[in-house]
Structure 1
Amino acid sequence: MPAHCQARQRLGAAPLKALFDLVRGPVATTATQARWRGLLVVAVDGTLLPVPDTPANLAVFAKQRCNNGAGGYPQVRLAALVACGTRAVIGAAFGPATTGELEYAGRLAGDLRAGMLLLGDRNFAAADLLNRLAATGAHLLVRCKSGRRLPPVARCGDGSFLARLGALTVRVIDAEISLVTSKGARTGHYRLLTTLTDPSAHPAAELIRLYHERWEVETAYAELKSTILGGRVLRARTPAGVEQEIWALLVAYQVLRTAMTDATDSVPGTDPDRAGFTVALSAARDQLVLAAGIMTETVIDLVGVIGRHVLAHLLPARRVRTKDRIVKRAISKYNARGPAIDRATYKATISVNMLTTDP
């Protein structure tokens, strides 16, 4: 076994976990996009990471079930709490994929605080979980199934209504969202649950538009899995090594996010969304290869080499999303999804119609 592998085994996962606890957090930013009406906007979601198919890993991490039994690589389920404005990681929990997202999301409750607004998809609309998360003092904005039965206990002047989920009072907002491009139009029905029950202080139309920020956690996962890992399987061949590697991955991601936010904050009015993660990662790798950027002075440059590369290659303003998520890495050379996928970009107009219920 190579000496560096033996050294990693002796080190273990605890120091990497402690380092993550040191650097994790929403990352301070002057950008107004990070907050909505004074609340820090955060999102929670889960993803799967494949690990090497070794006997040691198989004893802990199961393979995904398919028609003929289990297939592919063993998988780790990772759940993260991400600040939507900067995509920085506030907290993370992971383990065997046989444990569901809701369990890991519940473990992140300790990272929630009063003054936060948590966004979540339909999978996180379970009553027990919402009560547990709301008990932290954080506010919630979660989508649920459109047909979910929620008897009103009170009506709000804007057409939304109040309902009960266990001990929790939530405001139910129904909306119709239409997207129009030169290729046609699409309309979807959304039902949102929120603990922000005052319609005058927290307008429903703004909450409906704000919910789209939930996609920032998906982008963070894409940066972890596609940009840093390049779509590759993790390398550790034991569960202890997998734990160490995931904490190291999260530390590297968080350090880059911090550097990117420091850079965009140095230019007032620059949205953190315009910082390119690939640019920052390439600059960081160059610094490691060249053994450059080692601090020898007491004056700390918050922008630094990575930040200057980011500012020199700012991305254009975010475009409107018009497509569902699709798998970019084909599992077959045959056309399993019918006609070719249209990857063209179109100018789009989004309209939000709040739906009211009869008294």
Structure 2
Amino acid sequence: MDQVSVGVLVQAVSRDRVDAAVDACGVRERRRGGKLPAHVAVYLTMGLCLFPDEPQDEVAGRVTGSLSAFGVWDAGWAAPTSSAVTQARKRIGPAVMRAVFEQVAVPVAEYDTAGGFLRGWRVMAIDGFSLDVQDTPENAAEFGYTTRAAGGSPFPKARVVAVAECGTHAMLDAEIGPFATGEKTLAVPLLNRLGTDWLLTADRNFYGFPAWRMAADTGAALCWRAPGQLGLPVLTPLADGTYLSVVIDSKVQGGRREQILATARAGAQPDPGTARIVRVIEYDVPDRGDPARREVIRLITTIVDPRQASAAELARAYHQRWEEETGIDQVKTHLRGSGRVLRSKSPDLAYAEIWGYLLVHYAISALIGRAATAAGLDPDRISYMRTLRLVRRSATGTAAFPP
């Protein structure tokens, strides 16, 4: 029962890792003059994300009482007031919460986790989403609103782009920024940090030759949907119905582009700084808007040898990308709550709160993923919402409130 409790935060986000992040950011505090230790402020920030509807002092009572059993909270201390929680959150800032996430968010899926791997590659996906923040002048200046063309928004919005395991929904890396910062821009540092054993899937909105080159240079395998306007000339038809093609930097035009095509058609490798050989998989599926119609899907992959991964395997892996949509929905609808706005009124607190949500989501996803794998189940068969309810119900609030 300890694992399916607020203790899940400590199981996944250990005190040692929190302390390492606190020390790296230089914000260690001792409990003097009523100041909360930095490590407690980290767990309180996560607690606020676990109970988004409750006042800060009530959350503090729930979380600190539950954490005392794990050596994170001194049972002799009184639960902090709302103002004390806010001050502690300000002292640690977003840098500590981000550093904790980077320390904690490691791969969860094992080789026998359903949907976790394609042969030797860990199946991953990259996608983005937005979160409403409090409508204060500070937040408005930092995050901005959606444009009128997109319908406008009553609240400022933060944008998040994350990389997640398709098998467990666990988000392993993320970048957060203002809404005006596009997903492709936020994705750039993520594409520089891919694992060499990953197969990264992505929708067509993420394609651009610089992004493709950057991601491929990490050594990760890629399987992305190609945008409709991308020219993919047939270089070599392959026996499985796929074919080799070449993607070229859009900045290359005219005679230089024709020279690159000629080089590729001759079977030679073009300059990797301006062009890359890819394998193209084409198939059609029923159109979601009109089942009578068929939608053509074109995938490009760095796995050019069909013996390493068949067209059918890669098509299935690409459609596993929708598992990250499930993870995003878990954050936005189940954990935060549909239509709810983040509680933080300043940008630093809002950034820290979002990292808190990502940490709590990771902790619960990791618990589900490991339990499902041990039981020989698909993690999708274990209800995220039910697990979340168990965690919330277990926080009995044994810490004493001050008078």
Matches within 5 A, 1:199-210: 199-210=306-317
Conserved? CA contact 1:88–1:258, under 8 Å? yes
**1:263 Cα offset (Å):** 1.6
Corresponding residue to 2:328 among 207, 221, 224: 221
**1:265 Cα offset (Å):** 2.4
The one-letter code of the counterpart of 1:148 is L
Corresponding residue to 1:247 among 355, 361, 376: 355
* Aligned mates of 1:205, 1:157 — CA distance in 2: 13
Matches within 5 A, 1:77-96: 77-96=159-178
Corresponding residue to 1:127 among 185, 191, 209: 209
* Aligned mates of 1:174, 1:257 — CA distance in 2: 33
Deviations, residues 3-59 of structure 1 (Å, cap 9, x unaligned): 221221122222222221222022143414210111100000011111111111111
Corresponding position of 2:18: none
* Aligned mates of 2:396, 2:357 — CA distance in 1: 18
Please say which of residues 201-210 and 137-146 is displaced more in the overlay: 201-210
Corresponding residue to 1:271 among 378, 381, 392: 378
* Aligned mates of 2:329, 2:172 — CA distance in 1: 17
The one-letter code of the counterpart of 1:266 is A
When residues 40 and 16 of structure 1 are mapped into structure 2, their CA distance, relative to the original with a 3 A threshold, is same
1:148 aligns with 2:220: no
The one-letter code of the counterpart of 2:316 is R
The one-letter code of the counterpart of 2:113 is A
* Aligned mates of 1:252, 1:63 — CA distance in 2: 26
Corresponding position of 1:195: 302
Corresponding position of 2:115: 33
1:260 aligns with 2:341: no
Conserved? CA contact 2:124–2:166, under 8 Å? yes
Conserved? CA contact 2:118–2:313, under 8 Å? no
1:281 aligns with 2:381: no
Question: Which of the pair has the greater relative contact order for Cα pairs under 8 Å at 6+ separation?
Answer: 2
Corresponding position of 1:6: 87
Conserved? CA contact 2:131–2:157, under 8 Å? yes
* Aligned mates of 1:193, 1:67 — CA distance in 2: 31
Conserved? CA contact 1:146–1:189, under 8 Å? no
* Aligned mates of 2:201, 2:332 — CA distance in 1: 22
Conserved? CA contact 2:130–2:158, under 8 Å? yes
Corresponding position of 1:17: 98
The one-letter code of the counterpart of 2:106 is G
Conserved? CA contact 2:205–2:227, under 8 Å? no
Deviations, residues 139-159 of structure 1 (Å, cap 9, x unaligned): 111112345321223222222
* Aligned mates of 1:9, 1:147 — CA distance in 2: 47
The one-letter code of the counterpart of 2:201 is L
**1:184 Cα offset (Å):** 6.3
* Aligned mates of 2:314, 2:145 — CA distance in 1: 38
Question: What SS is found at the alignment partner of 1:164?
Answer: strand
1:236 aligns with 2:318: no
Question: What SS is found at the alignment partner of 1:222?
Answer: helix
Larger helix percent: 2
**1:205 Cα offset (Å):** 2.0
Question: What SS is found at the alignment partner of 2:98?
Answer: helix
When residues 253 and 291 of structure 1 are mapped into structure 2, their CA distance, relative to the original with a 3 A threshold, is farther
Corresponding position of 2:52: none
Unaligned stretches of 5+ residues in structure 1: 293-359
Conserved? CA contact 1:26–1:86, under 8 Å? no
* Aligned mates of 2:191, 2:228 — CA distance in 1: 26
* Aligned mates of 2:195, 2:226 — CA distance in 1: 23
Larger strand percent: 1
| Displacement over 3 Å in runs of 4+ | 67-71, 183-186
Please say which of residues 143-152 and 211-220 is displaced more in the overlay: 143-152
Larger radius of gyration: 2
Superposed CA RMSD in Å reads 2.2
Question: What TM-score, normalized to structure 1?
Answer: 0.76
Please say which of residues 95-104 and 185-194 is displaced more in the overlay: 185-194
Question: What SS is found at the alignment partner of 2:225?
Answer: strand
Matches within 5 A, 1:35-74: 35-66=117-148, 70-74=152-156
* Aligned mates of 2:326, 2:398 — CA distance in 1: 30
Corresponding position of 1:159: 241
The one-letter code of the counterpart of 2:147 is R
Deviations, residues 118-171 of structure 1 (Å, cap 9, x unaligned): 000010121111111111000111112345321223222222221222332111
When residues 74 and 31 of structure 1 are mapped into structure 2, their CA distance, relative to the original with a 3 A threshold, is same
Deviations, residues 261-285 of structure 1 (Å, cap 9, x unaligned): 2221231x21111111101111111
Conserved? CA contact 1:26–1:82, under 8 Å? no
When residues 83 and 68 of structure 1 are mapped into structure 2, their CA distance, relative to the original with a 3 A threshold, is closer
1:173 aligns with 2:281: yes
The one-letter code of the counterpart of 2:396 is V
